[in-house]
């Protein structure tokens, strides 16, 4: 059917979530299992080495995002795939990781000066620091609450109360007979 005044636009094709996102079947990529996995925690200066940071604090970045990792590695000239459904093994709530192909099929690196994971992480962190030098603070939901100063009526009571010691006796059916307890009453 045609309307007066022009043709109707063609129907919209369904798109993947996010702009420029392409869904890839990783089973068709040769050597995909050998790609290097990088979690945002590997570059995060807020975590300790025990919690997953792979770089020194001077080289690490404060709270890097998954998109920043992918952008930094792709701008270094490497192939990147973002896996948003995967989680960090130590922290269930840390979702997402980046897979990076550093080596060709013959074993030579795509970028000559990046031949291992540590060098890659250092280059990625430096790239993120250069593109966004002022890092955003992580969201703290407690910052939305008004500040309240806690006061206690106990402080006034302590000044007026005197300390006395009383001795109580208790009888029990256990061996040993009567026991005396010293109790401080405030």
Domain spans of the chain?
A: 26-135
3-state secondary structure of 139: coil
**Could you tell me the mean pLDDT of each successive run of 10 residues in the chain, 186 residues long?**
42 41 68 85 89 88 89 90 84 85 85 89 91 70 72 59 53 61 68
List alpha helices for 34-141, DSSP H: 66-75, 117-131
Q: Which CATH class is domain 26-135?
A: alpha beta
Judged on CB neighbours under 10 Å (0-12, 13-18, 19+), 82 is middle
Task: Identify the pLDDT of residue 153.
Answer: 58
Contact criterion met (CB below 8 Å) for 68 and 38: no
Task: Identify the pLDDT of residue 121.
Answer: 92
Kindly state the helix (H) or strand (E) to which residue 158 belongs, with its residue range: helix 154-160
Judged on CB neighbours under 10 Å (0-12, 13-18, 19+), 98 is buried
Task: Identify the pLDDT of residue 27.
Answer: 64
Task: Identify the pLDDT of residue 98.
Answer: 92
Alpha-carbon distance of 160 to 165, in angstroms, equals 17
């Amino acid at each position: 059917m045609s309307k007066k005044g022009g043709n109707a636009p063609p129907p919209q094709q369904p798109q993947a979530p996010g702009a420029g996102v392409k869904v890839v079947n990783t089973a068709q990529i040769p050597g995909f299992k050998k790609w290097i996995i990088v979690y945002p925690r590997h570059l995060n200066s807020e975590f300790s080495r025990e919690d997953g940071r792979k770089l020194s604090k001077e080289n690490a970045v404060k709270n890097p995002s998954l998109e920043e990792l992918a952008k930094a590695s792709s701008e270094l000239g490497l192939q990147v795939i973002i896996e948003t459904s995967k989680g960090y093994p130590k922290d269930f709530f840390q979702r997402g990781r980046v897979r990076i192909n550093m080596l060709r099929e013959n074993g030579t690196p795509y970028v000559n000066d990046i031949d291992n994971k540590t060098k890659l992480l250092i280059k990625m962190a430096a790239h993120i620091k250069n593109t966004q030098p002022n890092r955003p603070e992580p969201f703290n939901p407690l910052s939305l609450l008004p500040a309240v100063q806690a006061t206690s009526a106990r402080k006034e009571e302590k000044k007026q109360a005197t300390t006395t010691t009383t001795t109580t006796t208790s009888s029990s059916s256990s061996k040993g007979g009567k026991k005396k307890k010293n109790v401080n009453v405030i």
